[in-house]
Amino acid sequence: MAHAPATCEHLRMLTLTDDLGHLSYVVTGDGPPVVLVHAGIADHRMWDAVVPALAQRHTVIRYDLRGFGESAPPTGPFRETDDLRRLLDHLGHDRVRLVGASWGGRVAVDFTLTHPERVHALALLAAPWPGYHWSADMIAYDEAETAALAAGDLDTAVQVNLDMWVRGPARRWEDVAPGTADRLRGPLRTSLANQAAVGEHSQGVTTGDLATITAPTLVATGSLDVADFQDIGRRYAAGIPAAQLIEFPTAAHLIPVDAPTELTTALLPFLER
């Protein structure tokens, strides 16, 4: 299935409709399929800086999870793994290379555990760990976001998330590339506005043994991220057989946003193995 190259800013979103609403997605490039799953504070546009290089050698598939970006919030029970399977079936891809960032990384893990035969390679960028014993910093962040949303103060909730996930605990805003926060503010606001509906209907994560994952796996962390995720990265690398762990010194939580060139340099040879 060939798709002409296009700049990320001018791609037309496509729609896959079902009985729970619809998923919006975009396809770029030509070659072996690669699926990019976005973080829980973003949408498919967080990958804009890495797509052009990947699309020179791959068919790059990006979609907005339910309640994010242009995908409608769910109207009933759903599983992210079922959504991804349905999208791949719709596009005619039996087996893909799967790259997930943050919450999208956990979706990628769950999909690999549920449908191992459909994953050729797996890359996890700052993925969370179910049931992790979070640090005091993470607990404080969660309490601040919860209080802001309970008060109906969406602007404050957005800023709490920008401070935690975009700036990160190890740098000042002046150290972040200009415009980064502005590009993520809209997608983040959408995710927070739909958070209650997604939380109500999501069926949660898949339980499974990481040791059963046989796909080549790349685990990545950002040196400027919350320390919890560096520890979690080591857990994934230890639990998945033959996983490779790399760290990006200039990145906080959103590695594709902070270090797109370095990430692309690491991803391309890994995906082509």
Are the C-beta atoms of 71 and 199 separated by less than 8 Å?
A: no
Q: What is the DSSP string of 181-208?
A: HHHHHHHHHHHHHTHHHHHHHB--PPP-
Q: Quick one: 72 and 175 in the same domain?
A: no
Q: Quick one: 107 and 91 in the same domain?
A: yes
Report CA 251 to chain centroid distance, whole Å.
Answer: 15
Query: What CA–CA distance (Å, rounded) separates 198 from 184?
Result: 19
Query: What CA–CA distance (Å, rounded) separates 91 from 15?
Result: 12
Query: What CA–CA distance (Å, rounded) separates 166 from 155?
Result: 15
* Domain membership flag for residue 3: no
Give the range of the structural domain holding residue 157, as residue numbers without chain letter. 136-195
**Residues 121-166 pLDDT 10s:** 999 999 999 999 999 999 999 999 999 999 999 999 999 999 999 9
Report CA 250 to chain centroid distance, whole Å.
Answer: 19
Instruction: Report pTM.
Output: 0.95
Has residue 75 got a pLDDT over 50?
yes
**Residues 7-36 pLDDT 10s:** 454 578 999 999 999 999 999 999 999 999
Q: What is the DSSP letter of 215?
A: S
Q: Quick one: 20 and 83 in the same domain?
A: yes
Q: Quick one: 176 and 212 in the same domain?
A: no
Q: Quick one: 33 and 92 in the same domain?
A: yes
Number of domains in the chain: 2
Extract the tokens encoding 186: 């809209």
Q: Quick one: 153 and 26 in the same domain?
A: no
* Domain membership flag for residue 85: yes
